[in-house]
Amino acid sequence: MPATPGFTEFENKMRRAGMGDAPIRAFRHSFETLAAGKTGLLPENSIQPVTSLPRSEEIPKNIASGALLSQAVIIKLNGGLGTGMGLEKAKSLLPIKDGLTFLDFIARQILYLREQHKSPLRFLLMNSFSTSKDTLDFLKKYPALGETANLEFMQSAVPKVDAKTLQPVTWPKNPELEWCPPGHGDLYPSLLGSGWLDRLLAEGVKYMFVSNSDNLGAFLDLDLLGYFAASEKPFLMEVCERAPADNKGGHIAQGNGRLLLRETAQTPKEDEKFFQDINRHRFFNTNNLWMRLDRIKALLDASGGFIPLPVIQNSKTVDPRDKTSPKVVQLETAMGAAIECFPDSGAIIVPRSRFAPVKTTADLLALRSDAYQITEDWRMVLAPECNGVPPIVSLDADHYKLMDQFDDKTKDGVPSLSRCRELKVSGPVAFSAKNVFVGKVAVTNKDVATKPLPAGEYKDRVAEV
């Protein structure tokens, strides 16, 4: 590779850490963007809203035969530790329902599809160095998935950039803090650099479905697979219609005649009102993506071994807990941003049930409740009483943010939420399986000590304990 001015130290540092050509090429593109003074911002006057899209309920049904599964691979992004919830292992090892973890559900979904359709459906995890060992050890309980060594490829790490010098930051107190994750856009160089992209293509795999491991709504839907295959599109993003609570997530738009993805960090401050206008920008990215592997490979080859994704620049301090530590820029890319790299990309509106990530303990409370049910094929679906709309749960962060806090307050079971539209909890309240919430409910405890909520039904009311 020809040298890039100012990049030599980054390349040397990445090679010393064992990084190969693919992640280095991708990071060089990100660094060049920063060094050239490009902000990566997408002003409102440079884009247009997306006004209409096809809906998944309108596509032909049962057009995907099991034969298509033999040409498909499911990839789950599994690099997160869930530190925001106080976890120290892969978030996908967190028990979700009936003692089963995210990985239990994912493994059982894969095995069910293979058995039902007698198909060698491929399955891979994109792990991080923090999640790999625990994840592969856990999956040994499912030997039918295959050798654990053939179930993963590793996401890379990239150097943090010193904001003053634009060189790799050094932090001898804790050298690990000199590195950061490169965002989900790392999927492409990691897939290429690991050799898995060429291997899958050689085995006749054509279609890739990618989603986050903490989103159990993102199962491989045969109707969507058939629709994607018939469309001949290189890239298809699943989107949902934005609700008031979705005003901060990345939305899709149009620019230069193509679909594109705009994240919060790419929005100028003066345009935040437009970004948050859910009636103007109506659709958000679920991070459930369908891709043609042959088209991804062709784009990588044409671009010199990397995909020129828009770069997200995050201003931080090298030690996030020490605001006096040197200021750095963390360069990230979004996996879904590749939608703009193809002129014929598409998007499709899917039900909200296909977007059920667990980012907080509030999300977990909903999934553990009777608002969600387990199907025969190991999917997690909304109970019929929910009428397709999950309950909106808000838990007091001072008392429920961390898993040990949450577990302590739900040790007697989780309340019924199947007929609940909205639940807001303020103060330390202990729940039980004998609590039933209906409609819009608020529960408040103004004391410092935790108090149990008495058994019974609470309907459209404010309850103080």
Token digits for 120? 């060698």
CA distance 283 to 352: 11
Establish whether 206 is a catalytic residue: no
Compute the Cα dihedral for 351, 354, 355, 358 and give only its sign: positive
Show the DSSP H helices in 37-98 as ranges. Answer: 66-69
What does the alpha-carbon distance between residue 417 and residue 421 come to, in Å, rounded to a whole number? 8
Least Cα distance to 452 among 429, 434, 423, 424 occurs for 429
Q: Which of 297, 359, 424, 434 is catalytic?
A: 359
By C-alpha distance, which of 379, 383, 423, 388 is closest to 116?
379
What is the rounded distance in angstroms from the CA atom of residue 270 to the CA atom of residue 291? 34
CB 22 within 8 A of CB 190: yes
Cα distance between residue 327 and residue 318, in whole Å: 6
d(CA 306, CA 457): 56
Backbone angles phi, psi at 312, to 5 degrees: -100, 125
Q: Name the token pair of 107.
A: 């493994």
Residue matched to tokens 């738009």: 253
Contact residues for 131 (Cβ-Cβ < 8 A; gap 6+): 78, 79, 80, 81, 89, 90, 92
Residue 289 · residue 261 · CB < 8 Å:
no
Q: How far apart are the C-alpha atoms of 239 and 218, rounded to whole Å?
A: 12
Residues ≥6 apart with Cβ < 8 Å to 258: 339, 340, 342, 343, 345
DSSP 392-407: EEEE-HHHHSSHHHHH
Backbone angles phi, psi at 347, to 5 degrees: -145, 155
Active site residues per annotation = 359
